[in-house]
Structure 1
Amino acid sequence: MTPSAWPALCHPCVVAHHDRGARGPFAEHLADLVGLPVWNPRQGHGSFLAFDFGDPRLDASGRVDRGAWHLWVQMAAWRIEDASTVLAGCEDTGELIADALAVIDGRELTSITATGPALDTVFSFSDVHLRTFGLTSRASEDDLLDNWWLFRPDDQVLAVAKGGTWTLTPADAV
């Protein structure tokens, strides 16, 4: 089944596509990201992943810090897959993860689909997909990290938390 068929099968379902077919406020916060190519995809600490989109942003020293859009997958399980193969999963070796990220590098983000009560999210790069899903059903009091954060060009951060909640917060507050 293709990602384009998912909206008819999921409830609730939030979709942002390149055709701006976004539904609801959550999808509206993602819509301008769709259509941009990803650059500098990388593995951070442990299974954390980072992806940059849009124009480079410079730090105080004039060096490239990140993209205008910056996706940080932190406390979520994830897989990178195409139609027939799981290219890498969050517990694979760094080498396997780097190979899968190289497949994504430079590809246009064609859609973002968040489904179900936990807002499991699929970031589609044409025929290669990054699937994220929460590790737990709800956040605990000592759990300060969300499933993923999207730093936006307007200095807001869209966060998807465990249990399927999302927030839009000023970047200097995270």
Structure 2
Amino acid sequence: MERHSDIIDQVFRPVYGLPCWNVQPGIGSFLTMEFGQPHLVVHEPHKSRTRSSRSKKPSMRRLVYPHGDWHLWIYCCEWHLYTGKELIGDSALKSTSKRRIIRAAQELGGQKLIQVSVDPRRGRSVFHFDLGSRLETRPYDLDSEQWMFYDAKDYVLTYRADGLYQHQPSNVPREDDDWQQFATGRKI
């Protein structure tokens, strides 16, 4: 796998050596994890525009949850978590329901991220952790956003299945024509 160090190292360097925490399975095969100091995020209740009482109910609640200085969201991709050569869990939702996803989340909790590498030609990436685990991602279609890394300065680095990326403020809508190619690096 090639190492495209410029933007990857720039964005991930502050979390190298930090343990991930609150590693959670999400909807489908999504996986999220936090890094850095925890902060409470509060979403205040708001009036829903829908007429359905079932849909209105969640908007009438105050939602509070912990978030780290940095947040990694493994999104629309296939992923596999290995510790050494052993497959711990993956994104497959076939017969095992979410058991393997939950097992992967439990395995990652507390491990320190030590390196991230991408292979834009194949749309793959690998997250390396200090206790021997590695989280490998690969595309399951041509252009979905595989993962998003939100940093402490409210920027998000988004990596797409076609190997392109965007790095911009997280409150700015992503534009289809604003994707960039990684500068090629050295083999690792």
Match of 2:134 among 129, 135, 146: 129
How far 1:82 moved relative to its partner?
Answer: 1.4
| Stretch deviating more after TM superposition (70-79 or 24-33) | 24-33
| Residues 1:116 and 1:156: Cα distance change in structure 2 (over 3 Å) | closer
Contiguous gaps of at least 5 residues in structure 2: 44-62, 174-188
The answer (yes or no) to whether the contact 2:8–2:117 under 8 Å persists in 1 is no
1:94 and 2:113 matched: no
Match of 2:22 among 22, 25, 40: 40
CA–CA separation in structure 1 for the residues paired with 2:121 and 2:9? 15
Match of 1:49 among 23, 27, 31: 31
SS at match of 1:29: helix
How far 1:66 moved relative to its partner?
Answer: 1.4
Larger radius of gyration: 2
CA–CA separation in structure 1 for the residues paired with 2:156 and 2:13? 14
The answer (yes or no) to whether the contact 2:120–2:162 under 8 Å persists in 1 is no
Contiguous gaps of at least 5 residues in structure 1: 1-9, 15-22, 140-144
Per the alignment, residue 83 of structure 1 pairs with 84
The answer (yes or no) to whether the contact 1:157–1:168 under 8 Å persists in 2 is yes
SS at match of 1:86: strand
How far 1:133 moved relative to its partner?
Answer: 1.1
Q: Report the RMSD for the aligned CA atoms in angstroms.
A: 1.9
The answer (yes or no) to whether the contact 1:56–1:64 under 8 Å persists in 2 is no
1:30 and 2:9 matched: no
1:146 and 2:123 matched: no
**How many pairs are equivalent?**
150
CA–CA separation in structure 1 for the residues paired with 2:84 and 2:8? 27
CA–CA separation in structure 1 for the residues paired with 2:83 and 2:8? 26
The answer (yes or no) to whether the contact 1:38–1:105 under 8 Å persists in 2 is yes
| Residues 1:60 and 1:42: Cα distance change in structure 2 (over 3 Å) | closer
How far 1:87 moved relative to its partner?
Answer: 0.8
The one-letter code of the counterpart of 1:81 is: Y
CA–CA separation in structure 2 for the residues paired with 1:105 and 1:52? 9
The answer (yes or no) to whether the contact 2:31–2:105 under 8 Å persists in 1 is no
Could you list the runs of 4 or more consecutive aligned residues of structure 1 that deviate by over 6 angstroms after TM superposition? none
SS at match of 2:69: strand
